[in-house]
Amino acid sequence: MGSKERILRLKDETRTKILDAALNIVQTEGWQALSMRKIADQIEYTAPIIYEYFSNKEGILLELTRRGYQILAKDIRAARDKHETAEDKMEAMWVAYWNFAFSHTEFYQLMYGVDMVCCTVKNSLTEAETVSNMLGDVIESLFEKKPVSEDDICRKYYTYWSIIHGLISINLVRPNGRTTDELNQQILKDAIKGITLSINS
- Stretches 54-62, 70-78, 96-104, 120-128: which one binds DNA (CB under 7 A)? 54-62
- Count of residues interacting with a second copy (CB under 8 A): 44
- Stretches 61-69, 85-93, 99-107, 113-121: which one binds a second copy (CB under 8 A)? 113-121
Q: Note the Cα 136 to chain centre separation in Å.
A: 16
Q: Of 34, 110, 40, 30, whose CA–CA distance to 70 is shortest?
A: 110
For residue 167, give the amino acid letter.
L
Question: What is the distance between the alpha carbons of residues 41 and 45, in angstroms, rounded to a whole number?
Answer: 6
**Residue with smaller CB distance to DNA, 31 or 157:** 31
Write the binding mask 134 to 163 for a second copy: x where contact by CB under 8 A, - elsewhere: -----------------x--xx--xx-xxx
86-113 in b/e burial notation, b at 16+ Cβ within 10 A? bbebbbbbbbbbbebbeebbbbbbbbbe
Determine, following the binding rule CB under 8 A, whether residue 74 of this chain makes contact with a second copy. no
Determine, following the binding rule CB under 8 A, whether residue 122 of this chain makes contact with a second copy. yes
Closest distance to DNA from the beta carbon of 51 (Å): 5
Where does residue 46 rank: exposed (0-12), middle (13-18), buried (19+ CB within 10 A)? Answer: exposed
Q: Of 77, 97, 114, whose CA–CA distance to 189 is shortest?
A: 97
**Residue with smaller CB distance to DNA, 7 or 173:** 7
Question: What is the distance between the alpha carbons of residues 59 and 53, in angstroms, rounded to a whole number?
Answer: 9
Q: Which does 178 bind (CB under 5 to 8 A by kind): a second copy, DNA, none?
A: a second copy
Write the binding mask 7 to 36 for DNA: x where contact by CB under 7 A, - elsewhere: x---x--x-------------------xxx
The three-state secondary structure class of 179 is coil
- Per CB under 7 A, residues contacting DNA are 3, 7, 11, 14, 34-38, 44-49, 51-52, 56-58
